Amino acid sequence: MNRRNFVKLSSLSLLPILACGPQGKKEEEVFSLKIHSDMRTGHLVRDSFNWPEVESEKTELLVVGAGIAGLSAAANAPTKDLLVCELSDRIGGSSGSETYQGLQFCQGAHYDLVYPNYFGKDCLNFFEKLNIIQFNGQTKLWEYTDKQYLIDTSFESQCFSGGAFRSDVLPEGEEVKMFLDFMDQHIGNFMLPSRAIPKNMRALNQIDFLSYLNKNITLSPGFVRAIDYQMIDDFSGEAHQVSALAGMYYYANRPYRTNEIEVFSPPQGNFYFANKIATEIDNSQILLKHLVKQIKPLKKGFEVLVADVSQQKVKKILAKHVIYAGQKHALKYIFPEEYPAFENIKYAPWLVVNYVLKENSLTEGHWQNEMVMNNQAFLGFIDSDAQHQKGDKRVLTAYFCFPEWQRKNLANLDRTGQQIALQTAEKIGWYFGLRPEQFVPMVEKVFIKAMGHAMPIPVPGYLFNDHNINRKHKNLAFAGVDNGRLPLLLEAVDSGLCAVNEIFGSIS
Ligand SMILES: Cc1cc2nc3c(=O)[nH]c(=O)nc-3n(C[C@H](O)[C@H](O)[C@H](O)COP(=O)(O)OP(=O)(O)OC[C@H]3O[C@@H](n4cnc5c(N)ncnc54)[C@H](O)[C@@H]3O)c2cc1C
């Protein structure tokens, strides 16, 4: 660490986390830092206007986006004549990962839980085929086959609030008992994919979670703050912003109090699933750094303009069918005629900050470290120490969920990255009882990933709007959690399977 730079940057540390650094001035460098941001896409599109167009290719199916939804669609398509175009240099989307000196760690979605037997069979069968899960007749749960990635319950999570630790985000006492008793009455009604949720529960999609809770139980402001934290953590909005259906799903989707619900969290997070799904697709068919910038309907099929970022060329691809599994806000530019169906979706920006430590001199860690702070955007961090890679370097992965209006500030990371890394390090240091000047020298490298449209917020009215129903072209279908789904792994998988079904009639 350069001490002079550290002191200069520290003086900025009381600013809000995304406050702009000094205009036009390069930041002082405290950390060796690598930034990965999807906020640079706009520049790419503009640059690509000057790139030459190359001869057209033909494909039966073009999939836009290699997130979990796009990969699931490609893996289940009945044709092998397909291409998956992904604008990033890696697959996974919001379930992505990063590597450093052979070490792999998560930069987005980081876990899932064992699946009850009342969850939809299509996704479970697909995961069984990939040897990800197997049914346990005794527990009646679909359990993970890679047992080494199950999190030891004694190191599962710890909550830090008001300078003190407690075992759970929801404060202990009578209130939590009453709250969870209320939730338990609903277990079995909230499953994934959400399209399987019974019709009689769907009125909950029309009201916000806080209003619904207030109608049924009395909660103190401190308890509501804890619920807000959990709603932001999973759904990017507070209890008064997300639907009651999303909230009830969160607390009542599995029999948490009667069964042991195992947490599955490999060091690379849900990139594990992306990677497994991708084994079903020929590598040469996944085109990385390929940005789909325009889709034009033809008499039969589509003309798709794709910017090949490495070659700085624009490819014209004639596709008989398209599955659009990219975020839908960009349809405005890519395929404007379908944009109105999606224009009301609210997307939350997220930021992930990974700290690779030089050596593991910190105390033994918990997997999930939930930090309920005054700054609502900062949620805490995941500690690889609890992810069964003993002996490897330790990686601490911090998460921020910002309100929509802060998205534009994520575009300044080249100017503010060091400051964000330092402020986040201060918070993590505090958690471990260390001052910044003690914690910062322990850090070898920092990685920041910014996702401007990281996930759709399930506000009242959002769920169950499958825009495939009224789509304009039968041979273009939509996939992704932002097609009226909860922002969760199985929803992304199921949306891919459904898109294949929409186009080809049956899942292979
Ligand atoms: C920080 C964070 C943590 C999360 N944690 C969890 C978790 O622990 N568990 C869980 O179940 N879920 C979690 N989620 C939710 C997660 O978003 C979903 O589980 C799932 O990964 C969404 O997949 P998707 O394919 O629908 O969308 P995305 O992951 O957004 O994939 C869309 C893909 O399309 C690509 N793309 C977009 N436009 C274009 C274009 N024009 N051309 C080419 N490519 C394009 C993007 O680059 C991206 O790769 C988390 C989300 C975030 C942001």
Give residue-wise pLDDT tens across range 15-52: 566 654 555 556 679 999 999 998 888 888 888 989 99
Alpha helices in 145-185 (DSSP H): 174-184
Selection from 17, 373, 399 nearest residue 226 by Cα: 373
**Where is the domain boundary, 261, 293, 319?**
261
* Same domain flag for 313 and 333: yes
Residue to mutate (ligand 1; options 94, 107, 353; most atoms within 8 A of CB): 94
Strand, helix or coil at 355? strand
Tokens, residue 437 = 């000047």
For the domain that residue 211 is a member of, what is the CATH number? 1.10.405.10
* Same domain flag for 216 and 198: yes
Is residue 508 very low, low, confident or very high in pLDDT (cuts 50, 70, 90)?
very low
Residue 127 lies in a domain: no
For the domain that residue 468 is a member of, what is the CATH number? 3.50.50.60
Q: Which atom of ligand 1 is nearest to the CA of 334?
A: 41
Give the pTM.
0.96
Task: Tell me which residues have their CB closer than 6 angstroms to ligand 1.
Answer: 64-70, 85-88, 93-95, 108-112, 270, 291-292, 325-327, 330, 334, 350, 352, 399, 451, 454-455, 480-481, 487-489, 492
Residue 38 lies in a domain: no
Mean pLDDT of 275-279: 98
Mean pLDDT of the chain: 93
User: Looking at the predicted structure, is the pLDDT value of residue 12 above 60?
Assistant: no
Residue to mutate (ligand 1; options 63, 95, 352; most atoms within 8 A of CB): 95
Q: How far apart are CA 318 and CA 301, in angstroms?
A: 7
Query: CB–CB of 99/77 below 8 Å?
Result: no
User: Looking at the predicted structure, is the pLDDT value of residue 409 above 80?
Assistant: yes
* Same domain flag for 319 and 275: yes
* Same domain flag for 173 and 252: yes
User: What contacts 173, CB < 8 A, 6 or more positions away?
Assistant: none
Number of folded domains that form the chain? 3
* Same domain flag for 176 and 240: yes
Residue 416 lies in a domain: yes
**Where is the domain boundary, 261, 278, 301?**
261
- For 417, the domain range is 3-30+347-456
* Same domain flag for 330 and 463: yes
Tokens, residue 302 = 């589509």
* Same domain flag for 419 and 475: no
Residue 470 lies in a domain: yes
User: Looking at the predicted structure, is the pLDDT value of residue 250 above 50?
Assistant: yes
